[in-house]
Each structure stands twice: as C-alpha cells, then as structure tokens.
C-alpha cells in the first residue's frame, strides 16, 4: 500500500492544536514542518519536542500523525511548558572518614618502609613467571633500587601487572627506609 506524504495544509492543521493564536498557512511542507517543530518545542519541551517531531512527520497517513500528536499531548508531558521540573534539595552529607581499601592499606604500610608481600603465583599458568618474581623478591630484600627499576616487565597480562605493582611498591618501601635512615 503506497501512501502520500503529509501535506503543508495537514501539518498546519496539526500545528493549530498546539497554538492558541492563529497560524498563517505555510507555502511548503518544510516551512509548515519547521513551524510545527517550533510549536512542539514550546508546547512540550525542547528535548521532547525534537523527539516527538520525527514520528509525526514520518507517519504514513495524516490520521496516524494526528493520533501521535494527540497521544503526546494527552500523555506525553504532564508539566506545563517553560516551568522547570522541581528538584528535591539534597541534604549535605555529614563528613565521613575516608574509606581505605586493601591497596591503600598496602600503600600506607609500604610508605613506612615495610616490604610488601609477594603476589601468589601458585597456579600452573603462572609457573613461567615464578623465577622472575623470585628475582624481584631477592632484589627487594637486598635493597637494590637501581636493579629493581631496571628489571624489565611487560605489564600487559594480569600476572605481570601484579609483578610490576609489587616491584613498584618495593621501590617505594626501600626509598622510605632510606629517608628514615637519613
């Protein structure tokens, strides 16, 4: 079934439902559509008017467009146009103590000079990384910051990320020890 596009006169008829003042007839469907879009934005709200404009203009028949407009006017917007939606004033929250997680607790411990515990690499998939982790632990216990920083780790997979995090924490701990000793 082939349908005709909505004409300028039909669009003007729809626009009359949105305006209390008389509307001048438009010479083209584009001008009538622009006028309808403006009236929808004023009558419903700017955001919703733009959303509701497309289904009205792309309706297969004038009756469908009229039904869509009627539905939107009856059920779409319960607030009068131009009035802001009332918001509930938020009560200021009482200041709370900062929440610390496991990582923050570990970082606080490391900043006092204590070496972090090594990550658990007991799973079979981590077997290839155990020797590198043992080297990091040995360098950390020896206090060799330069060797730790030069130790190359590709921190893309999750296990090497854990090794890199442990190495960086060891560097922080050794640096903190050096500052306390100085």
Q: Residue 2: pLDDT band by 50, 70, 90 thresholds?
A: very low
Q: What is the reported pLDDT for 180? A: 87
Tokens of 54: 């497309």
| pLDDT band with cut points at 50, 70 and 90 for residue 182 | confident
pLDDT tens, residue by residue, 125-165: 999 999 999 999 999 999 999 999 999 998 889 999 999 99
DSSP for 82-130, written as a single string: TPPPP-PPPPPPPP-PPP--HHHHHHHHHHTTPPPPPP---SGGGGGGH
pLDDT tens readout for residues 44-73: 555 554 556 667 677 777 777 777 777 776
Q: Where are the alpha helices (DSSP H) in the chain?
A: 8-16, 29-43, 46-57, 62-71, 102-111, 130-142, 145-150, 158-181
pLDDT digits 0-9 by tens, 61-119: 777 777 777 777 666 554 545 555 556 666 666 666 665 788 888 999 999 999 999 99
The label of the residue with tokens 């981590």 reads: 126
145-155: per-residue pLDDT in tens? 999 999 999 88
For 8, residues 6+ apart whose C-beta sits below 8 A from its C-beta are 25, 26, 27, 28, 29, 31, 32
DSSP type of residue 17 = T
Dump the DSSP string for 23-65. -PPPSSHHHHHHHHHHHHHHHT-HHHHHHHHHHHHT-SSHHHH
Distance between CA 11 and CA 4 in Å, rounded?
13
- Estimate to the nearest angstrom the gap between the alpha carbon of 9 and the chain centroid: 44
Amino acid 16: pLDDT? 73
pLDDT tens sequence across 10-53: 777 777 776 666 677 667 777 777 777 777 666 655 555 455 66
């Amino acid at each position: 079934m082939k349908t005709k596009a909505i004409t300028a006169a039909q669009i003007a008829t729809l626009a009359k439902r949105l305006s209390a003042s008389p509307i001048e007839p438009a010479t083209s469907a584009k001008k009538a559509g622009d006028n309808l879009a403006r009236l929808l934005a004023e009558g419903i709200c700017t955001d919703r008017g733009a959303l509701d404009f497309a289904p009205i203009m792309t309706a297969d028949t004038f009756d469908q467009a009229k039904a869509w407009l009627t539905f939107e006017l009856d059920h779409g917007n319960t607030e009068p146009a131009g009035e802001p939606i009332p918001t509930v004033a938020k009560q200021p929250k009482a200041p709370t103590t900062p929440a610390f997680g496991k990582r923050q607790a570990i970082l606080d411990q490391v900043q006092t000079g204590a070496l972090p515990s090594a990550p658990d690499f007991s799973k079979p998939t981590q077997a290839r990384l155990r020797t590198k982790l043992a080297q990091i632990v040995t360098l950390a216990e020896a206090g060799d910051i330069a060797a730790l920083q030069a130790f190359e780790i590709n921190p893309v997979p999750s296990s090497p990320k854990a090794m890199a995090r442990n190495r960086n924490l060891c560097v922080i701990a050794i640096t903190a020890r050096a500052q306390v000793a100085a």
